[in-house]
Amino acid sequence: MKSKDLVQLEGKLDKSAELAKVAADLERAGVTANLRATTTQMVPGAGNPDAQIMFIGEAPGANEDHLGQPFVGAAGKFLDSMLAEIGLSRDDIYITNIVKYRPPANRDPRPEEIASSLPYLKRQIGIVQPKLIVFLGRHSMNAFFPELKIGEVHGQIIKDAGQAYLPLYHPSFGRYPRNRQTVLDDFKLIPAIIKKLTNN
Ligand code: URA
């Protein structure tokens, strides 16, 4: 008989393979091919495919484009420090962006770029099956909840069709001293939310 550890490892490998297929399908379908033309590579997502928490940002920047990994620049360093404060690391989360290629000169992703990328993000969510989806910034939140304003709902749990979401300000917003405490306080809500979701 297979050990529990082996079954878990096989499940993780299956999820990794399924996530790789999503990235391959996105590339094959030419999603945001306009962006792809000016980038080094796709930044599909990274972390633990078995994670309970999935973070969704906006789009890769220059550092992410260079390394092929999400949130590896200044905003990512701040994110890592906030994760460490609540006892988590990148191995405990799955992290991706709505748009998988860097927009030129870090402009905001356009509505059509978000719309064409969204079905692939939804497939990623379906594979990881996180207990909690954390939106990093208004762009990712508005892709799911267009009517909400980040200034009004940041730090408040949203439940929709059996899925829990937590909208947060983007980490780059927290790098400004006057916003920092709000961003830190919101982030510290995560452990209690996860505890509550896993006890239900
Ligand atoms: N900002 C984002 O929204 N995503 C990244 O991957 C990096 C910075």
Nearest CA to ligand 1 atom 7: 71
Q: How far is the CA of 149 from the centre of ligand 1 (A)?
A: 19
Q: How far is the CA of 199 from the centre of ligand 1 (A)?
A: 31
pLDDT in tens, 117-169: 999 999 999 999 999 999 999 999 999 999 999 999 999 999 999 999 999 99
pLDDT in tens, 109-131: 999 999 999 999 999 999 999 99
How far is CA 172 from each of CA 12, 65, 95, rounded to the nearest angstrom? 31, 17, 16
Rg of the chain over all Cα atoms, to the nearest angstrom: 16
Q: How far is the CA of 46 from the centre of ligand 1 (A)?
A: 12
Q: Domain segments of the chain: what residues?
A: 4-199
Task: State which of 43, 97, 138, 170 you would mutate to test the pocket of ligand 1, scoring each by most atoms of that ligand within 8 A of its C-beta.
Answer: 97
Residue indicated by tokens 């509505």: 111
Distance CA 197, CA 77 (A): 27
- 3-state DSSP assignment of residue 112: helix
> What number of helices (H) and strands (E) belong to the chain?
9, 6
Q: How far is the CA of 158 from the centre of ligand 1 (A)?
A: 22
Distance CA 87, CA 99 (A): 28
Task: Report which of 80, 79, 87, 164 is spatially closest to residue 130, judged by C-alpha positions.
Answer: 164
Task: State which of 102, 136, 150, 183 you would mutate to test the pocket of ligand 1, scoring each by most atoms of that ligand within 8 A of its C-beta.
Answer: 136
Under CATH, which architecture does the 4-199 domain have? Answer: 3-Layer(aba) Sandwich (3.40)
User: pTM for the whole thing?
Assistant: 0.95
Answer yes or no: is pLDDT of 52 > 90: yes
pLDDT value of residue 1: 59
Share of the chain above pLDDT 70, in %: 99
